[in-house]
Amino acid sequence: MNQSNNFSFWKKFFKPSTSKILALLYAIIIFIISAIPELNPPELGFKWQDKVYHFLEYSIFSLLLFLAFFTSKKELFNKHAHLFSSLVGILYAGTDEIHQLFVPGREADIIDFIFDSLAVIFLQVVIWFFLKYRKNFPSPK
């Protein structure tokens, strides 16, 4: 089944330029947040709470990357949106950790990178399953 036809509703809603702008703006927001010295997000009350933040942050980024590539007018990006989204998301996660080496009070953490990468891949898998089995979901009107 053609993945493009299964996701036509989203293609109508997310135009190529809109999707690219959203993904770029979100990448800039990640960069700005990473540049805040000694950032302490709200407490969730458990040991690895920062990993939850990383996972959520990069899950959203993964979705935005997918929409940007999937709605691309270039067939290569459109056809391989999951691959390009995963590669760009993981690469950006790595550069984000390196960036934090240069921010006072911040540090690069391999575990953060792993959670970022897992989030990117996880969401691509979720999207893939949704697209593959979309016929079992009601169509948005």
Give the number of other Cβ atoms within 10 Å of residue 5's Cβ: 10
Residue 125 lies in a domain: yes
User: Using CA atoms, how far apart are residues 139 and 134, in angstroms rounded to an integer?
Assistant: 8
- Tell me the DSSP string of 74-129: SHHHHHTHHHHHHHHHHHHHHHHHHHHTTSTT----HHHHHHHHHHHHHHHHHHHH
pTM of the shown model: 0.83
Q: Report whether pLDDT(137) > 60.
A: no
Give the chain's domain count.
Answer: 1
Domain hosting 119: range is 3-8+16-35+46-134
Residue 101 lies in a domain: yes
Residue 41 lies in a domain: no
User: What value does the mean pLDDT take over residues 15-41?
Assistant: 89
Residue 79 lies in a domain: yes
Q: What is the pLDDT of residue 14?
A: 63
Q: What is the pLDDT of residue 26?
A: 97
